[in-house]
Structure 1
Amino acid sequence: MKFIAITFARTAERAKFDFLFLAEGLRLREQGGHIYDLDVVGRPDTFTVLAALAAVTEHLGLTGTINSTFNEPYEVARQFASLDHLSGGRSAWNVVTSWDAFTGENFRRGGFLPQDERYSRAKEFLATAGELFDSWHGDEIIADQETGTFLRDAKAGAFVHTGQHFDIHGQFNVPRSPQGRPVVFQAGDSEEGREFAASSADAIFSRYATLNDGQAFYTDVKRRLAKYGRRPDQLLILPAAAFALADTDAEAEELAREVRRQQVSGATALKHLEFVWNRDLSAYDPEGPLPDIDPDVGDDHISQGRAQVRMYRDPIATAREWRELAAANKWSIRDLVINTGNRQNFVGSPATLATTINDFVQADASDGFILVPHITPTGLDEFADKVVPLLQERGVFRTEYEGTTLRDHLGLAHPDEVRAERAAS
């Protein structure tokens, strides 16, 4: 694991990418009461991994997914402030919520919160952490010449917060970090998620892979910023993007097909179908037709801890749509999952990928992309060697890092500058 993470991070930095992103799961997912077989390697602690990567990189941003439902502001703020110091101002926080009691069983408080309360807690969590980050702001540092230590005013780090979800007071024990606060990412696509991003985030993920859908999402989220006194350039739209790269477009298309077939085995296809049917489908032939029975729409779900379950809000309608697609295209269960599941956003030669990526950005469908290679740790190598130079030749991607912090890389202002701008307006 150490070799994989270091190799991946160093390749990203060699390509002059903005940041490396780590997802996180607080519990191993289950299917039918058994651990999902693709999860057996687990999810190591985010801060430990990012701290280790800070030691072997100099410029690359370090983004970690940290949950706001089952953590507390003081400990998370302390960890991010420490990481920001350790990395020289390269930390970022992907703020997420947990939606199910299954995950909550790992925690003392347990249970889960309704969606409106999850976002209410997340927003207050982030605001409270911001108060902690800012609690050292503006205090004088005084050097003690005799002992070589540094002293601050006794009020440095003092904080008091009283709200719906948190009632805390004390003294934050990590001084102001290079970025002031970590860069904040948000991943929600719901109405609440988009508002949360518009009010509080520096970047939001997008799941929209087509140009038209990407433009619609981009326009919707950016237009929300004005009511919070923010400019469009103060929130970045960053879709996740898988890719298949080869010397020619035809070879890339063939590679994309082969990758998808390797990613979706027969067993994986049946597991995916169970997300919608909410039934044990292990007796079905993945190379055969879809089940003729309807999904079970009960509250108890066969799949636990998977975000995909929430994507299918109307299982009956989804099953009907999939049956029609399978019949029209003569698809088996496996064929259907291959053709309707996550697919490569960009497929083609280096020139095709460079053109398509730039077209999306120029057409206001995104401000950039979070690349998701289909293999690690070497999945970024070919992109770094063949596509990045073409983007650099076009003048649309950096040839060298021009700042020291992640905010510099992303073109985001320091929080103090944002505050001063708002105060002056």
Structure 2
Amino acid sequence: MTDRPLKQIHLAAHFPGVNNTTVWSDPAAGSHIEFSSFRHLAQTAERGKFDFFFLAEGLRLRETKGLIHDLDVVGRPESITVLNALAAVTERLGLAATVNATFNEPYELARRFASLDHLSGGRAAWNVVTSSDAFTGENFRRGGYLDRADRYTRAAESVQLAREFWDAGEEPVRHSGPQFEVEGRLSLPRPPQGHPVVIQAGDSDEGREFAAATADVVFSRHSTLADGQAFHADVKRRLAAYGRKPDELKIMPGVTFVLGDTDAEADERAREIRRAQVSPQTAIAFLEQVWGVDLSDHDPDGPLPAVDPDPDSGLVQGRVRHADPVAVAERWRAVAAEKKLTSRELVIELTGRQSFIGAPATVAAEIDRFVQSDAADGFILVPHLTPGGLDEFVDRVVPLLQERGVFRTDYTGPTLRDHLGLPVPGLR
């Protein structure tokens, strides 16, 4: 044990979508398009004094065999449009939009996020993502032109150039780089936060370096205490090379949660939720993502496919394609054999996010343990229901974290940088 003060926990709310998190079969599941759903979840997060509300985004719906998987998210409004509307019905909650740096121009990004920051009084955040696949690029004039090796080069320069626009005021921006040649002026004053908060989600070595150089928040996926501690230490260690202090970057894994009156009740409820999230059809879609062959006739309640994967298949479009499908399939077969799992059971086992499961006191204690042990600085919560999936956590877990003295009882400042304890950057 150390004598350092208790770390304060950071919490954010992720509007579920562009994944298989939502349990569509639950009668309480609502729309992912109607504004009332976004408003309810955001206002619940603000009632819980969360740092920010986080929207993912997909520029094209994912396809298998040329068809949209009807148990996936079908349709999603543009993120900044939704957040501009939410700025009018919230007062303190940060508003984080995922916007692709590959298919947007830095001036456009700088102007849109400056607008959101002004309209919200300093609550905007940009989750910077990249794309190198031609499938997504078909929706754009440039197509899939960008080599995978260039995606972080373009993203880093996009953020750099956006910050130049935010800092410039009435002065012209003159920028010459490998991706952009720009000379112009932003049409708005400097944003209230100086720079809107930058979030990043890459876990590769280049992604970690990009985060250390550029990001204010990292959206990570590490699921165990040891893995979280290793990631936390590695990324924080890299900050010094860029003249940054450890507390200038917050690491916030995306997690799910399931509550019950007892730990046993929560465990049973969690099993039911995972089976609802991974239907037989969804399990087959995940198998086809690895195998790259049509598995329509495969029994999801039987063993894994006996055939070898097709590494060059174009069967699945828009989902992450594993670099070595043959190696992934062999690893999956080993896990299935060791644990005696069917195809569907294996997908359930391998595709779940890190979860906090238990009675409210158990979940509060585990969240606190991860943060005090430097496995994270906080968490981005992904509920399995929209729009009411966060209500129970705010009502039953947040008060326990507040009693522990590790989570705010009220906001202490108006901006997202205030909530995250981040400095306002000086003019460059």
TM-score over 0.5 (shorter chain): yes
Q: CA deviation at 1:327?
A: 2.6
- CA distance in structure 2 between the partners assigned to 1:344 and 1:191 by the alignment: 21
The answer to whether the 8 Å contact 1:157/1:173 transfers is no
Q: Which residue pairs with 1:383 in the alignment?
A: 393
State the Cα deviation string for residues 267-325 of structure 1 (Å, max 9, x = none).
11000011110111011111111111111112x43111113x2xx33222221222232
Q: Pairwise mapping of residues 357-376 of structure 1 onto structure 2 (< 5 A)?
A: 357-376=367-386
Q: Which residue pairs with 1:171 in the alignment?
A: 185
The answer to whether the 8 Å contact 2:254/2:354 transfers is no
- CA distance in structure 1 between the partners assigned to 2:130 and 2:311 by the alignment: 24
1:211 lines up with 2:244 in the alignment: no
The answer to whether the 8 Å contact 1:20/1:61 transfers is yes
Q: Which residue pairs with 1:396 in the alignment?
A: 406
Q: Which residue pairs with 1:3 in the alignment?
A: 36
Q: Which residue pairs with 2:111 in the alignment?
A: 78
Task: Output the TM-score relative to the length of structure 1.
Answer: 0.91
Q: Pairwise mapping of residues 112-123 of structure 1 onto structure 2 (< 5 A)?
A: 112-123=145-156
Q: Which has the higher helix share?
A: 1
Residues 35, 321 of structure 1: alpha-carbon distance in 2 compared, 3 angstrom cutoff? same
The answer to whether the 8 Å contact 2:61/2:74 transfers is no
Q: Which residue pairs with 1:63 in the alignment?
A: 96
Q: Which residue pairs with 2:346 in the alignment?
A: 336
Q: Which moved more, 1:28-37 or 1:45-54?
A: 28-37
Q: CA deviation at 1:39?
A: 4.2
1:274 lines up with 2:284 in the alignment: no
1:133 lines up with 2:159 in the alignment: no
Please, which runs of 5 or more residues in structure 1 have no aligned partner?
A: 137-155, 420-425
The answer to whether the 8 Å contact 2:223/2:353 transfers is no
Q: CA deviation at 1:34?
A: 1.0
- CA distance in structure 1 between the partners assigned to 2:91 and 2:152 by the alignment: 34
Q: Which residue pairs with 2:68 in the alignment?
A: 35
Task: Output the TM-score relative to the length of structure 2.
Answer: 0.90
The answer to whether the 8 Å contact 2:132/2:144 transfers is no
Tell me the secondary structure at the aligned position of residue 258 of structure 2.
strand
The number of residues matched between the two structures is 395
Q: Which residue pairs with 2:334 in the alignment?
A: 324
Q: Pairwise mapping of residues 231-246 of structure 1 onto structure 2 (< 5 A)?
A: 231-246=245-260
- CA distance in structure 2 between the partners assigned to 1:366 and 1:187 by the alignment: 14
Q: Which amino acid aligns with 1:302?
A: L
- CA distance in structure 2 between the partners assigned to 1:76 and 1:372 by the alignment: 26
Q: CA deviation at 1:170?
A: 1.5
Tell me the secondary structure at the aligned position of residue 38 of structure 1.
coil
1:88 lines up with 2:121 in the alignment: yes
The two structures, once aligned, show a CA RMSD in angstroms of: 1.2
Tell me the secondary structure at the aligned position of residue 369 of structure 1.
strand
Q: Which residue pairs with 1:158 in the alignment?
A: 172
State the Cα deviation string for residues 65-92 of structure 1 (Å, max 9, x = none).
0111010011110010010000000000
Residues 40, 394 of structure 1: alpha-carbon distance in 2 compared, 3 angstrom cutoff? closer
Which residue of the other structure, out of 243, 252, 264, is the alignment partner of 2:278? 264
Which residue of the other structure, out of 310, 318, 321, is the alignment partner of 1:296? 310
Q: Which residue pairs with 2:57 in the alignment?
A: 24
The answer to whether the 8 Å contact 1:157/1:175 transfers is no
Please, which runs of 5 or more residues in structure 2 have no aligned partner?
A: 1-33
The answer to whether the 8 Å contact 1:197/1:204 transfers is yes
The answer to whether the 8 Å contact 2:255/2:353 transfers is no
1:124 lines up with 2:157 in the alignment: yes
1:306 lines up with 2:316 in the alignment: no
The answer to whether the 8 Å contact 2:292/2:310 transfers is yes
Q: Which amino acid aligns with 2:376?
A: S
- CA distance in structure 2 between the partners assigned to 1:263 and 1:99 by the alignment: 28
- CA distance in structure 1 between the partners assigned to 2:184 and 2:333 by the alignment: 59
Relative contact order, higher structure (CA 8 A, sep 6+):
2
Which residue of the other structure, out of 410, 413, 418, is the alignment partner of 2:420? 410
Q: Which residue pairs with 1:284 in the alignment?
A: 298
Larger Rg computed on CA atoms: 1
- CA distance in structure 1 between the partners assigned to 2:61 and 2:279 by the alignment: 20
